[in-house]
Amino acid sequence: MSKLSSIRPSSFSLFNSRAYQGSLNQIFSPNEDHISRSTATTLSSVLQRYIKSDTPFYGQTIHAHILKIGFVPNTNLSIKLLILHLKCGRLKNARQMFDELPQRTLSAYNYMVGGYLKQGLVAESISLVQRLILDGERPDGFTYSMILKVSTSGCNLALPRNLVGMVHAQIVKSDVQPDDVLCTALVDAYVKSGRIDFARRVFDMMIEKNVICSTSMISGYMNRGFVEDAEEIFKKTIEKDVVVFNAMIEGYSKSVETATKALEIYVEMQRFGFRPNISTFASIIGACSVLAGFEIGQQVQAQLLKTELFTDIKVGSALIDMYSKCGRIEDARRVFDCMPEKNVFSWTSLIDGYGKNGMPIEALELFYKMRQCGTEANYVTFLGALCACAHAGLVAEGREIFESMEKDYSMKPRMEHYACMVDLLGRAGSLHLAWDFVMGMPEKPNSDVWAALLSSCNLHGSVEMARVAANELFKLNAEGRPGAFMALSNALASAGKWDNVSELRETMKSRGILKDTGSSWVGTESVI
């Protein structure tokens, strides 16, 4: 079956000139008389120009006239019409052209698969790939790159667990020569599937490593804590862009050990002439949060004020979170009040900030105001509201909020919400209610739930219940919870059971479980 080598996915590029559209309409007026006197070659050429223009929808009138006069398009013209409909977002029309093709080519399959993926219709794209193979067509590099995108689309389809490896094996077995697009898709797919080692092998085999591929590798390494490997890739990337700088800044900003390096990269990228974008600002503000460096955050905000990005929701939410974590809740509220538009993340950041800064009443007031404004709460919002209730001792309000999750929002509470409710009841001194709540959970309590109960028992001196909670906690995660041993030890000490305290301390020593050393940060003159 012959392939139309002149038609490639690259034909989706746009011409930005408005004058081009006017001249196109002067050269070719899409009316029935003109079309009836035109050849398929002429129509194909004109359609190609519409496809490349920034107003491709004008070309749809040609298809309408073709249908009206009964003109029968050949395969080449039909594929051009298919591409035109895809450019216009008319997926249904494009599929109709595809189904009516007298001879479905590999190019036609590729365009339709790409069109479905662009609209997020993964199942349809998979179905077309299967049909492509049944029709006897051999996938090319573009087809394989589309399949790799499917593997990382996060869809709910039951795909093979090692789909990326299977596709890679097929590429090796076939005579397809991997180009930059295919190699980049392979690297990205391996990174997103957690196989960073295989991604690195493909990356190292590439003769020319593009910046997109480098960015994917850097993000993969940073997400797994392999900072030195990410730094190696970054240093070897010759042609850098703002995205690769962003990958480094975001990766550094996740840990207090590396957050200072995020600031250094932020300064370096601007020295190279790259202007920070929304992702840059969000990540660097995150680094300020980790470092509790609100002074640096204020400088970033001052820089933001000079750009059109200051009103962006993502940046505003990041500033609220940063100021809240730095204890500057008044500054966080000012940013919130100045935001022209707010989403659930903006509201949640401030609600959580109020709760963690010892202002639970303000947190709850904001939570109720958010509901009045019609913004739907998410899981983190409810967690912040429940924590606020726990700190304020508002048991009735906490129960109401917890029950509203499933009743009003159809949101099944998670373990952290159950743990928060146990903490709420326990702090209020209702230990038996907390115990009954744990026993009535629809799922088996995890270590967070038992830890919350143990903490409450320690607070109110309930030794026997503390023993039960501690034993359940140790069954789940003994080594990872040194604080649980200390909580039980303190409860026993408060009750005067010193023999039991000594026995517990010996158990800790024999298991090599050490109490974490407490530490705090104090900032002075921009130094932590």
- The predicted model scores a pTM of 0.75
Do 51 and 133 have their domain in common? yes
Do 205 and 269 have their domain in common? no
Lowest mean pLDDT among 312-316, 346-350, 485-489: 485-489
Do 225 and 290 have their domain in common? no
What end-to-end distance do the CA atoms of the chain give, in Å?
69
Mean pLDDT of the chain: 83
What is the pLDDT at residue 470? 81
Q: How many domains does the chain have?
A: 4
Do 441 and 471 have their domain in common? yes
Instruction: Among 236, 267, 296, identify where a domain stops.
Output: 236
Instruction: Among 208, 236, 264, identify where a domain stops.
Output: 236
**CA 8-14-15 angle, 5° bins:** 125
Lowest mean pLDDT among 34-38, 134-138, 301-305: 34-38
What is the pLDDT at residue 426? 92
| Torsion of the alpha carbons at 15, 18, 23 and 26, rounded to the nearest 10 | 120
Q: Which of these, 175, 105, 104, 117, lies nearest to 145 by C-alpha position?
A: 117
- Give per-residue pLDDT as tens, 47-68: 777 777 777 777 777 777 677 7
State how far the Cα of 507 lies from the Cα of 494, in Å rounded to an integer.
19
Contacts of 233 (CB under 8 A, 6+ apart): 203, 214, 217, 218, 221
Question: Max Cα separation, the chain?
Answer: 104
Asked, for residue 14, whether it belongs to a domain, the answer is: no
Asked, for residue 475, whether it belongs to a domain, the answer is: yes
Do 70 and 121 have their domain in common? yes
Asked, for residue 198, whether it belongs to a domain, the answer is: yes
Domain assignment of residue 214, given as a range: 138-153+161-236
Do 112 and 148 have their domain in common? no
CB distance 125 to 149 below 8 Å: no
What is the pLDDT at residue 166? 87
Do 246 and 337 have their domain in common? yes
Asked, for residue 293, whether it belongs to a domain, the answer is: yes
Q: Which of these, 440, 374, 373, 432, lies nearest to 402 by C-alpha position?
A: 440
pLDDT of 30 higher than 60: no
158: left (phi over 0), alpha (psi -120 to 50) or beta: beta
Asked, for residue 468, whether it belongs to a domain, the answer is: yes
pLDDT of 158 higher than 80: no
Do 118 and 172 have their domain in common? no
Compare 518 and 143 and report the one with higher pLDDT: 143
State how far the Cα of 392 lies from the Cα of 183, in Å rounded to an integer.
55
Instruction: Among 214, 236, 258, identify where a domain stops.
Output: 236
- Give per-residue pLDDT as tens, 208-226: 888 999 999 999 999 999 9
Do 197 and 245 have their domain in common? no
Q: Which of these, 332, 318, 339, 408, lies nearest to 363 by C-alpha position?
A: 332
Q: Please list the residues that pair with 527 across neighbouring strands.
A: 524
